[in-house]
Amino acid sequence: TEPELRDSIALRMGHGVREFESNKTRAWFVTTGYLVRILANHPERFDNVSHLIIDEVHERSVDTDLLCLLCRRLLAERNSRIRLVLMSATMAADMYASYFGVPEQPLISVGARRF
């Protein structure tokens, strides 16, 4: 994709270290703990964010549960336009849909063969 973008893809990807972000950064790849810290301390950084994708949401931990709480608060109080995407190979999709108050939203299930 770099030739099509005419600049380094690395300039468009932040990865959890502030000095590696620039005004060209379009996506962050960060740990759950880093995202929790940003949401808790600087929720204004998400005012112009369009999508938030959380993978492996089934791996319940303090950080993951806190992240879900902070995302729910963000959606309710600051930016209801964010599209929150929760992903996991195995998850209680109905529970998360209910938690975020959107049980009528379509759930996408992609079947796969187990090895």
Reported as a single tens digit per residue, the pLDDT across 32-64 is 888 899 899 999 988 888 888 888 888 888 999
Q: What is the pLDDT of residue 40?
A: 94
List the Cα angle 110/113/115 in 5-degree steps: 140
Is the pTM of the predicted complex or chain greater than 0.75?
no
pLDDT at 108: 73
Cα 2 to Cα 9, 20, 49, 103: the distances in Å are 6, 18, 23, 39
104 has pLDDT over 60: yes
